[in-house]
Chains A and B, each alone.
Chain A
């Protein structure tokens, strides 16, 4: 005869510093508004064509970053990413147009891309996944909300994997340090030694996440409920 319950649900005291319990009333709406703001700012970055427009958007994004500072956000890290991205785009423009005059156009594209990505990065880093799911649950089925929020979380995990592969390959002699990449014939190493393993690793990571979710019966029921805490 099998026991009905396998460990007793005895009376317990809550951990003393637990913040367990429902999320504050109206929290999902606030998170939804922030998500909408992030999406709007990202879309505006694509629409921005003039320097004053780009400057205004930059000021708003930086103000957001300053307001949310300390929540795993770092202006230095974001600017470093911007510098990298700009370097790669400028090099591609140089190869494509073989003319320094094309560089300004490349810089503008990089600026726009950065402003398009920054609000989403700020939103994801400053909002817990549970709160994102709770907000998305209001506008889409629960299962889809989880999948979408997991996709958002997947990006930083993948970046950590890429960083780890990059560091390993640098010391194996791959010519992929910034000063190496000034020479276009070294770009092949970046593709070969970092991008290829990163793609393989991203597929493995996605497969592992899906397996872990199925191991906890994700998809076994047509509906899902939602954790009420943070």
Chain B
């Protein structure tokens, strides 16, 4: 297979920064091969991907990106799927979404339907062309975006962190899709810090070492001893803090999300709710917190009906992408905000803030602006701010989404520490039913619209 892209002594520096994020990089990409770009968080994986696609607009470049052209081909050279599928969907139906690139290449409308159908088949997504994109699961949306690039016949496809959003089923379908693409001669670059589920398709690993250069081998994160599951939480006797009885929720278009959900949560224990993308885990948590009204059933939480006014200070919630709740000028103020609002004395506020920051390992960031921190650090700041008030019950919606292994371990250890140390009841959700076995006292699984204990 021929070389389709070559990087020669490529360096890139962001504006207003002195140190280059990428330094003197050389690489070659061959058709029909799958590469995995690894490296610690913030090492420049996404920057390199954006550079290959030509999407870096501001900054200083040095070196060359050499891409042999194909005479007479209207195809795009490089296609890229960014990390979050939700913000990349630009239209409202499957057909229009896939055809968006063809519109940009000014392809004749009469040619479009056949090409769109072929691209959808290449990713194994055979939906009607007028099917609404917002009814697709996360895995389906991701494959739809790949189809939206394939229809433009790229020679190189770059996928940024596919593992961050996809559940095991979605990853399995993606793996099959990658195999088909390789066979048809498309080169693939995965920017991924957890490539385990796609290993069978990866031919070559590249590793960015954190200083902008390539290192040999594959980045495996810091070496940690294997984590043993923590001891089960200890409670004198079962005292329910949450009781859910025959709960049913109907979503958009009268589609039932789940029905007849019943379970109880005892004080001081840890629970996991698992379920593939789109099974309604977030909806369930929003119902428990009183932000959504179920069509049927009853919820008793901390001694009453779910009412955000009553639950404030007693119930904590860490919703998905908690970084977006950050607004204060320093990390210390961000963590102290809820403590002040709950009316704690200033001494207690300082003590709890310091304790939460230390537990999260971010005491050194106390005076820094939270807005300038890395993704993982912002996540820890948001977590510290919900742990600091020590709520009686803490709901966490996919608390490890987008985190690398090191940060994931830190978060899980932190949650267990607060559970064991302060008797805090916890309920967290994961989209991988096999994730962190033994870390919850009980696992509840959402499947087919029903909740079952595992």
Contact = CB atoms under 8 A, between A and B. Distances in A.
B84 A208 contact: yes
A52 interface: no
A165 B253 CA distance: 25
B166 interface: no
Contact of B2 (A2, A196, A212, A216): A2
Interface stretch (A33-41, A55-63, A86-94, A171-179): A171-179
Nearest to A142: B103
A20 B118 CA distance: 13
B95 A230 contact: yes
Given A130-B91, A168-B322, A173-B337, 5 more contacts: A7-B150, A7-B186, A14-B117, A19-B128, A177-B309
Interface string B305-328: 000110111011111111011110
A7 B95 contact: no
A177 B308 contact: yes
B280 to A, nearest CB: 16
Interface of B: 2, 4, 31, 53, 55, 68, 70, 73, 75-76, 79-82, 84, 87-88, 90-93, 95-96, 99-110, 112-118, 121-122, 126-130, 148-150, 152-155, 180-181, 184-186, 252-253, 286, 289, 291, 308-309, 311-313, 315-322, 324-327, 337-338, 340-342, 371, 385-386, 389
B324 A161 contact: yes
A6 B322 contact: no
Interface in A182-219: 189, 192-193, 196-197, 200-201, 205, 208-209, 211-219
A161 B84 CA distance: 14
Interface string A1-14: 11111111110101
B130 A215 contact: no
A50 interface: no
Nearest to B318: A168
Contacts of B317: 167-168, 171
Given A3-B185, A217-B76, A229-B113, A171 B91 contact: no
A226 interface: yes
A53 B295 CA distance: 38
Contacts, number: 226
A177 B309 CA distance: 7
Given A7-B122, A171-B315, A165 B325 contact: yes
Most B Cβ at <10 Å: residue of A170, A211, A225: A225
11 contacts: A2-B31, A5-B153, A7-B150, A7-B180, A164-B324, A167-B291, A167-B319, A217-B101, A218-B104, A223-B106, A229-B95
A197 B325 contact: yes
A169 B325 contact: yes
A215 B315 contact: no
8 A-B pairs with least C-beta separation: A173-B341, A212-B88, A20-B129, A7-B184, A227-B99, A208-B87, A228-B109, A130-B96
Contacts of A25: none
A24 interface: no
A52 B90 CA distance: 41
A15 interface: yes
Contacts of B93: 128, 130, 229-230
A171 B184 contact: no
Nearest to A10: B118
B389 A219 contact: no
Most B Cβ at <10 Å: residue of A20, A171, A173: A171
Contact of B104 (A22, A173, A177, A221): A221
A229 to B, nearest CB: 5
Contacts of A217: 76, 101, 104-105, 152
Contact of B118 (A9, A153, A165, A196): A9
A85 interface: no
Contacts of A20: 95, 113, 116-117, 128-130
A207 to B, nearest CB: 9
Contacts of A129: 91-92, 96
Contact of A12 (B73, B118, B148): B118
A67 to B, nearest CB: 18
Contacts of B311: 171
Most B Cβ at <10 Å: residue of A4, A15, A165, A169: A15
A6 B184 contact: yes
B103 A7 contact: no
A188 to B, nearest CB: 12
A17 B253 CA distance: 19
Contact of A164 (B312, B319, B327): B319
Given A173-B313, A175-B341, A177-B309, A226 B103 contact: yes
Contact of A212 (B90, B128, B386): B90
A164 B328 CA distance: 18
Contacts of B326: 197
Contacts of A9: 114-115, 118
B128 A3 contact: no
A6 to B, nearest CB: 5
Contacts of B53: 215
A230 B129 CA distance: 8
Contacts of B338: 172-173
B73 A4 contact: yes
A150 B31 contact: no
Contacts of A208: 82, 84, 87-88
Contacts of A18: 117, 128-130
Nearest to A180: B309
Nearest to A127: B92
Contacts of A19: 128-130
Nearest to B113: A20
Given A7-B181, A130-B93, A216-B100, A12 B105 contact: no
Nearest to B391: A171
Nearest to B127: A15
Contacts of A72: 252-253
B319 A205 contact: no
Contacts of B105: 217, 220-221
Nearest to A169: B325
